[in-house]
Structure 1
Amino acid sequence: MEELIAYILKFGSLNKQQIDLVASKVKQIELDKDEYFSEAGKIPRQVGFVLNGVVRGCYYNNKGEEITRCFISENNLAVDYANFETNTASAEYIQASTDCKLIVFSKQDWDELSHTIVGWDNIKNKMVQQCLYQKSRKSPVISQDATTRYLEFLENYPTLANRVALSHIASYLGVTQQSLSRIRKNIK
Structure 2
Amino acid sequence: MKELIEYILQFGNLNKQQISFVEKRAIAADLQKDEYFSQAGSIPRHVGFIVEGVMRGCYYNNKGEGITRCFINENSLVVDYINFEANLVSTEYIQACTDCKLMLFSKQDWEELSHTIVGWDSIKNKMVHACMFQKSRKGPVISQDATTRYLEFMENYPSLINRVPLAYIASYLGVTQQSLSRIRKNIR
Q: What range is the shorter-chain TM-score in?
A: over 0.9
Q: Deviations over 1:96-129 (max 9, x none)?
A: 1001100000011001111111111110010011
The question of whether the paired residues in 2 share the 8 Å contact of 1:138 and 1:156 is answered with: no
Identity across matched positions, percent? 74
Q: CA RMSD in A?
A: 0.9
Q: Does 1:87 align with 2:87?
A: yes
Matches within 5 A, 1:1-188: 1-137=1-137, 139-188=139-188
- Structure 2 residue runs without a partner (length 5+): none
- Say whether the 8 Å CA contact 1:50–1:74 is kept in structure 2: yes
TM-score, structure 1 normalization: 0.97
Partner AA of 1:8 in structure 2: I
Instruction: Report the Cα distance in structure 2 between the residues aligned to 1:138 and 1:29, rounded to whole angstroms.
Output: 29
* In 2: Cα distance, 1:86 partner to 1:149 partner: 35
Q: Secondary structure in 2 aligned to 1:57? A: strand
* TM-score, scaled to structure 2: 0.97
Give the whole-Å Cα distance in 2 for the aligned partners of 1:158 and 1:138: 17
Instruction: Please state whether the residue corresponding to 2:11 is helix, strand or coil.
Output: coil
Measure how far apart 1:138 and its partner are.
Answer: 5.1
User: 1-side partners of 2:71 and 2:116: how far apart?
Assistant: 32
Runs ≥4 residues deviating over 3 A: none
Give yes or no for contact 2:70–2:137 (8 Å, CA) kept in 1: no
Separation in 1 of the partners of 2:13 and 2:61? 42
Paired with 1:143 and 1:122, the residues of 2 have a C-alpha distance of 39
User: Could you list the runs of 5+ residues in structure 1 that have no partner in the other structure?
Assistant: none
Q: Distance in 1 between matches of 2:30 and 2:63?
A: 32
